[in-house]
A and B are shown apart, each in its own frame.
Chain A
Amino acid sequence: MWTIALKKVFSKKIPLICASIILMFVLVAALAQFFGFASAWDIPIGAQYLPPQFGGGFKMLLGTDILGRSVMYKVIQGTRVALSVGIVTAILSAPIGIFFGCISGYFGGVIDDLIIWFITTLSSIPNILLLIAISYSMGRGMSAVYIALTATSWISLARILRGEVIKHKQKEYLVAAESIGATHQKRIFIHLLPNVTHQIILSMTFMVEMAIRSEVLLSYLGLGVQNLPSWGKMIDDAKGELSTGVWWQLTAATVAMFFLMFSINVLGDYLRDALDPRGNV
């Protein structure tokens, strides 16, 4: 199923382009994270508010900000922050969502009731308020953002998986597994999970997108990363600059975020079409 689906997706041009754009963002972020690319973002490279220009080399391409720092470097550091938030959140919250979704759907009964109670409770607090409350109480900073986003994004995955597991529970292959004496763990992890992987992957693309959006929002509210530039903070800085004609910082952050979101959205759509049997009518 996977090889067919992937072949189907990447035989077309549009998803291929989107995947390369995402790969480029990941590459830039990895270079910044591990090889110190654009690490000189906080050193002024010229006068304040220099417009974008070709003369000054790569770092001048997007102009300078209020302190004369390179907007290009800041966008790159922002990419690093956004992607690490997206990826870390997805990696941390997927196991939680899988665990709760599976045991709640599989065992039913009191366990299910308790988990459903917990999920309903958490989703009764509007997401954005929960995010604000968690990052407010955890103190400002990167780890607070990771925790806040993980705490909120496992819920939808758990809910989807619970539904899927309930659907699969009655199918012959699980009954057969039971009849040959497979333990609960074996039935869940070896028999059931491989059949719902596509739901997990699709949820994770959605998680990455939501995490990046929320990170930008939290940083904008001053609750996000503190000593690194982020797209949200750039937008926050830029809101006063726009009326003085300084458009490049806002535009740079917006365009960077737009391309990443657009690629994730489109690629996610194609993946869903290829993996979700309902789409193949």
Chain B
Amino acid sequence: MLLEVQDLSKIYGNSCGSCLALTGEEHGRAICPECASVVAINSISLTARKNEILGIVGESGSGKSTLLQLIYQDITASCGKIFFNGLTDDRNQPLNILKAMPATVSHLRNKEMSMIYQNPHLGLNFLFSAGGNIAQRIIGAGERNYEKIRKGALGFIDRIDMETSRIDDYPENFSGGQQQRIQIAKALSSSPKLLLLDEPTTGLDVSVQAKILDLIKELQQEIGFSMIIVSHDLGVINHLTDITVVMKHGTLVEYGLTDQILEDPQHPYTQLLVSSIL
């Protein structure tokens, strides 16, 4: 098992203690009626194996991006556990990475997991060149040899079908689609075991979207890593993922093989979602 999430929750506000029990899909709300706290993620458990590709779908505000950010530890969870790739603590017990030492957390964030954001400003440092951004990640993963870093950066620029002569250009001088490609190159340059993608192609025109999705799929098959993709576009989910998770009001309402979710949805919300495809 590469990733195991157990009873993960995220509450915004001072919880009254019964927020989790009073919200979620069965109550039809994510705001606690007692204390008005917002329950963004409510007791979610899921697993991802090596090389598996998971999709997360759900309406805006259902907690999809929050879930990714909790796994990547961009934000702090309220409660729950996450286990990653058999990591153990000093007593040889499975390590809950939410309680790991800062050094372990940065190693996970800089090397083992990578996140690709919808907004390139979150994933790229606009003060560094394209090559500099990739180099930053390679250095973060532990490489110190200048030649190897430069060579690695050039290799990844080439892999995303970009002219290597543009390695020293700054992100603002690239188009939106190219910025996404640089984010992909940067994210993969540390050879992560898990790639998290938050609406990676939303807002791009369809021809660029198709090329980027193809690139992601190609690299996944070539390099071999697990992915969790958040998208509201069922076409993207159908194209890329093996397993789909459906979220509503911060809870997981359905989990299944992607073709099963699309062809034989069980939950009323999933049926509504699938019947809404144009």
**Co-complex (A, B):** no
